[in-house]
Amino acid sequence: MSGKTLGIGLAGFGTVGSGVWNILKRNSELIRERTNGVVTLEVRKIAVRDLNKSRDADAPADRFTTDVNEVIDHEEVDIVVELIGGTTTAFDIVARALKAGKPVVTGNKALLAERGQELFALSRQHQAPILFEAAVAGAIPVIKAVQESLIGNQIDSIAGIINGTSNYILQRMTEAGLGYPEALAEAKELGYAEADETLDVNGWDAAHKAILLASLSYGGLVDSGKVYVRGIEKVTPLDIRFAKELGYVIKLLCLVRRHESGIEIRTQPSFISSKHILASVNGVFNAIAVKSDAAGESLFYGRGAGQEPTGSSVVSDLVEAARLLSNGGSHRGFLPGDQEPVLVPVEETATPCYVRFKVTDRPGVIAEIASALANAGIGISGTHSPSDPDNPDAEFVDMVFVLHKTPFGLLKDTLAEIENFDSVTERPVVFRIETL
Ligand code: NAP
Ligand code: HSE
């Protein structure tokens, strides 16, 4: 069997776009063979901002344009790939392509999590698929797993490390003792971070991915405004050290969990036991643990960002899109509908917690805090107050309380009270301890 060559329009030729070009250049023949000659792909138009920029791939100059519409409207472009990022121009590109009936492949989690409602509606209306494997966890085929392989399962929970930049930064701070700015600069240099790294470090990149996973698992698009999100910007070497002394590591974790009353979804730096399998997921690697009723526990692991790992997922979607065009079939996987799932308020979710207080070093301080916690019904499973060998007579010391499982709302209210004690000199630092 032999198929026609399908034309690709590539909007964006940065880290991922040039990775896609290089993979196709190297492996096009392999793809053709593996698809029985049905899928031959050729990049016919490429949109960028700056035609004079040096690139990581050597595409011919005549394919480039600065006009994104040229990429979409070109008569020899059958599939449009959006790899520019953001939620404005990217939205226009995807919407225009779908309206023209062209399948879209994108790695843009922010776009789908924030404006997916409109785009999936256009996709349904114009019967043009949106494929987005690259949007969650780089090279790991977790979207296909949830959309297709686990389609006959009730998903109980998804827990994972799904931002390579944060994971890389936390590991470099933990193991190499690097400061936050140095570790971030390395992640940028390696092509893991977004053009604007804000979303990586403030937790939103991971939250967008969690929203997509939740939407695929529970049917409708989650309103991002209702999701609890914290990033790694305030993780200090001190908490990293205390975590280690207590037998934990700090990871930016995303959690999606089904409760009787709704869906719990949150992203935050959390303590996990240093013996847990996710504790050994380091650097740019991501891992996602899915619990479902029939399959039980499944773990997905791989590179979560970077040029070719992400390019690999884009190419896989291109082959899928080409197959759909060749066979005239519709997308095989489940896609989110427009019913918004009910979310469980974060205040109602409960975990054990680590709380660090900066206090004046005087008798009775520990008892004062312990008694406020006890009055609120919060149990203490341990305390930790390492003295600073360089400064044994320090006026202020760090005092850690490890708390039994506590509803987050109750903890917040109690800490608001303790924060006002004369002996407490700074806002308490809280990390949830996830037992997963
Ligand atoms: P990038 O390196 O910043 O590349 C963006 C590309 O888009 C550049 O080629 C840029 O042109 C072009 N561009 C931006 N605005 C444009 C406009 N208005 N018109 C025409 N071209 C425009 O970004 P990236 O890292 O490849 O990421 C692309 C997308 O993939 C993002 O949605 C990101 O979230 C997602 N993603 C990235 C990774 C990763 O590891 N990097 C992994 C998964 C998903 P110039 O080159 O001329 O500036
Ligand atoms: N900036 C993202 C990350 C890219 O670090 O995980 C992959 O989505």
Q: What is the CATH number of the domain that holds 428?
A: 3.30.70.260
Look at residue 279 and tell me if it is in a domain: yes
Q: Give the structural domain span for 212.
A: 142-303
Q: Which residues of the chain have pLDDT under 70?
A: 1-2, 387-389
**One domain, residues 19 and 107:** yes
Output the pLDDT for position 336: 81
HEC states along 138-192? CCCCHHHHHHHHCCCCCEEEEEEECCHHHHHHHHHHHHCCCCHHHHHHHHHHCCC
Q: From the CA of 92, which ligand is nearest? A: 1
Query: Residue with the nearest Cα to atom 20 of ligand 1?
Result: 48
Task: Say which residues have a Cβ less than 8 Å from residue 196's Cβ, sequence separation at least 6.
Answer: none
CA 86 to centroid of ligand 1, rounded, Å: 9
Residue 205 lies in a domain: yes
> Do residues 424 and 386 share a domain?
yes
**Same-domain check for residues 107 and 25:** yes
Q: Whose CA is nearest to atom 1 of ligand 2?
A: 193
Q: In which element (H, E) is residue 367 found?
A: helix 365-375
Last residue of a domain, one of 268, 303, 338: 303
Q: What is the CATH number of the domain that holds 317?
A: 3.40.50.720
Q: Give, using CA atoms, the residue closest to atom 8 of ligand 1.
A: 14
The two tokens of residue 51 are 């035609």
For residue 148, the domain's CATH number is: 3.30.360.10
In this structure, the answer to whether residues 167 and 72 fall within a common structural domain is no
CA 274 – ligand 1 centroid, Å: 35
In tens, the pLDDT along 351-366 reads 999 999 999 989 999 9
Give the Cα separation of 336 and 339 in Å (integer): 8
Strands (E), 338-379: 350-360
Tokens of 316: 């896989």
Residue nearest atom 36 of ligand 1, based on CA coordinates: 107
- Same domain (yes/no): 212, 275: yes
Q: How far is the CA of 284 from the centre of ligand 2 (A)?
A: 8
Residue 386 lies in a domain: yes
Same-domain check for residues 133 and 260 = no
Residue 70 corresponds to which tokens in the numbers above? 């040229």
Taking the CA of residue 19 as reference, the ligand 1 atom at the shortest distance is 26
Contacts of 232 (CB under 8 A, 6+ apart): 166, 169, 170, 201, 203, 252, 269
Quick one: which ligand is closest to 314's CA? 1
Residues within a 6 A CB radius of ligand 2 = 138, 163-165, 192-194, 200, 205, 304-305
The closest ligand to the CA of 165 turns out to be 2
From 83, 142, 313, the mutation candidate for ligand 1 (largest count of ligand atoms within 8 A of CB) is: 83
> Tell me, what's the pLDDT at 389?
67
Please say whether the beta carbons of 278 and 71 come within 8 A. Answer: no
Contacts of 372 (CB under 8 A, 6+ apart): 414, 417, 418, 421
Give a yes or no: residue 421 inside a domain: yes
Domain membership of residue 382 (yes or no) is yes
- pLDDT of amino acid 397: 92
How many domains are contained in the chain? 3
Instruction: Please indicate, yes or no, whether the overall pTM of this predicted structure exceeds 0.85.
Output: yes
Q: Which of 303, 309, 284 minimizes the C-alpha distance to 171?
A: 284
Which two three-digit tokens encode residue 21?
């070009």
Which listed residue (209, 234, 275, 412) is catalytic?
209
Does some domain include residue 253?
yes
Q: In this structure, are 78 and 221 located in the same domain?
A: no
**Atom in ligand 2 nearest the alpha carbon of residue 107:** 8
**Which residue from 147, 163, 17, 27 is spatially nearest to 80, judged by alpha carbons?**
17
**Ligand 2 centroid to 77 CA: how many Å?**
28
Cα of 305 from ligand 2 centre, angstroms:
5
78 and 149 fall within a common domain: no
135 and 113 in one domain? yes
- Whether residue 271 lies inside any domain: the answer is yes
Find, among 74, 53, 54, 55, the residue nearest to 9 by Cα.
74
Q: What is the DSSP letter of 345?
A: P
Q: Note whether 148 and 297 are same-domain residues.
A: yes
**Which atom of ligand 2 lies nearest, measured to the CA of 167?**
5
Residue 146's contacts (CB-CB under 8 Å, 6 or more residues apart) are 155, 158, 213, 216, 217, 290, 334
What's residue 106's pLDDT? 98
- Which own/partner pairs from 375-381 qualify as long-range (CB within 8 Å, at least 24 positions apart)? 376/410, 376/413, 376/414, 377/410, 378/403, 378/404, 378/406, 378/410, 378/411, 378/414, 379/403, 379/404, 379/406, 380/404, 381/352
pLDDT at 97: 98
One domain for residues 157 and 228 = yes
Last residue of a domain, one of 295, 327, 359: 327
- Examine the domain organization and report whether 272 and 375 are in the same domain: no
Closest ligand to the CA of 84? 1
**Looking at this protein, which amino acid is placed at residue 387?**
S
Contact 39, 103 (CB under 8 A): no
53 in active site = no
The reply to whether 332 falls in a domain is no
CA angle 204, 171, 16 (to 5 degrees): 55
Contact, 287 vs 277, CB < 8 A? yes
